[in-house]
Amino acid sequence: MDLFFDIIVYFLFVYAFMPTILARIFHIGAFFQGSQNENKVFITFDDGPDKLYTPRILDILKETQTKACFFVLGEKARAHPEILQRIQAEGHEIESHGYAHQFPWFLGPLGTKRDLMKTSSIIAEITGKPPRFYRPPWGVLNLFSWFFLKGQQVVLWSFMSWDWTKRATASLIADRVLSRLKNGSVLIFHDSDKTPGSAPKSPELVIKILPVIIQEIKKRGLQPAALSELIPEKRKKLSYALFEKWDQTVLRLMGVKDLSDKGRPTVFRVALRKFKEKQLPLPDGTILKKGDLVVELHLNNTFFKQFGERNELSMLGLLAKHKVQEDLSAIAGWIAANPRHDEIKAITGLTIIHRGSRLVGFHTFDLPPLKSFLIRLYESMVLVMLHPSGYRRITRYWKKLTPKLLVMSKIELFRRYLI
């Protein structure tokens, strides 16, 4: 049960919390602020198009000769293509806010792909060009949000106007915005009241106060600008960099460390753990019990990522076998030098890459169905990030990817690999 809970927490942290933390707190891979050396601000609207509110906002923008960016929902764009056409004709930007404002943490990999690609397709069909920018609903991401963005840049906001809340008033919105307004600010408003949590008729407040805010922006010598002026046209894809960032952070929090051998990286990462599975008898007479000290093995994802960028996916399994044989001696040496080596009973690992593991000394054990599914889902996510063709291969061979618990006793490890 403890191991199952650990897996759930680890999965949620990696899949949901970490990508959001990287974007929202550390602003890695997400734009939220322009240069303070240029007199520009960026006005954006979320959740539309709305047939009641968006045209009235467009009227204000036209009268004040102000450019803005509309982050639209795919289902609303499909329902009101004429509004998107007007937005485009009047020189504003049209970007993606997802299809139906679903919470990204509750979307799986396939759901995330459908949400992003369906919205992009609808926008491209109506406007003639796909979106360049994406604002996630509630500013929340999952791991696959990055992978399926297909070159789109994540854009958040410099501060929240809170225009959609029940307690909002026109004066409160104006005070919040104008008190924090500065060069490079990315402002966020909403042109719909149909999304969850939005107060009824809240865009009426935006319509009421928007001319005042625009007037004050220009009075301060600032110029409302297009997001394309904030973000360069071409940027390096961030999915791998983000993957490395959360991978390293999560494993560090879990106490997992890279293992090197004479200065060279190995395929393993290691951590001392108490065994949490049921009692296992091993062929050499070792009986592994719950609470025994074991070395928990993790594959070095950074190593495999670099290899995956250069080689066919099918080579990963061959590399794993070769590197495991080469690096198990490093594991044996690390255990022998560990102050707690007398307490360590075995090495263990959970993986979908277990072909040929018996040939190098491991014994494989089945896992409970739910635990097996979670591990398969997580390691499949990792494999997608490791290799450009990973997603295609994973979807093709999904049912054949059965995770196993690998176990080798310390006695067997030392007999085979301790030099």
Residues assigned a catalytic role: 46, 190
Q: What are phi and psi of 187, to 5 degrees?
A: -95, 145
Nearest to 274 by CA among 254, 258, 257, 296: 296
CA distance 403 to 204: 54
Tokens 């090495």 belong to which residue? 347
Rounded Cα distance between 387 and 243, Å, is 12
With 0-12 / 13-18 / 19 or more C-beta atoms within 10 angstroms meaning exposed / middle / buried, residue 342 is exposed
Q: How many CA atoms lie within 13 A of 396 on its CB side?
A: 7
- Residue 70 and residue 93 in contact, taking contact as beta carbons nearer than 8 Å: yes
- Sequence letter at residue 32: F
Round the CA-based radius of gyration of the chain to a whole number and report it.
Answer: 26
Q: How many CB atoms are located within 10 Å of the residue 353 CB?
A: 21
Give the count of alpha carbons within 13 A of 266, CB side only: 22
Which of 309, 293, 304, 241 lies closest to 269 in space, CA to CA? 304
Distances (CA, A) of 297 to 111, 213, 273, 363: 31, 57, 10, 14
Residue 410: exposed, middle, or buried by beta-carbon count in 10 A (0-12, 13-18, 19+)? buried
Residues ≥6 apart with Cβ < 8 Å to 346: 275, 282, 286, 288, 292, 294, 295, 407, 408, 409, 410, 413
